[in-house]
Amino acid sequence: MDYPHPFIAREGWPFLAGFFFAAILCQLLGWSIPAGLLGLLFLFTLQFFRDPPRDIAGVDDLAIVAPADGRVIAIEECDDPWLSRRALKISVFMNVFNVHSNRSPIDGEVKQVTYHPGRFFNAALSKASLENERCAMHLVGANGADVTCVQVAGLIARRILNYMTPDKKLARGERYGFIRFGSRVDLYLPLDVRVCVTLGDKVFASSSLLAEFAKPPKQNT
The single residue of 183, 206, 207, 208 carrying the catalytic annotation is 183
Positive or negative, the Cα torsion across 17, 184, 137, 169? Answer: positive
User: How far apart are the C-alpha atoms of 58 and 49, rounded to whole Å?
Assistant: 26
Letter string b/e over residues 35-70, b meaning 16 or more CB atoms within 10 A of that residue's CB? beebbebbeebeebbbbeebebbbeebbbbbbbbbb
| Catalytic residue check, 183 | yes
- Angular region, 70: left φ>0, alpha ψ -120 to 50, beta rest: left
Give the residue numbers marked as catalytic.
183
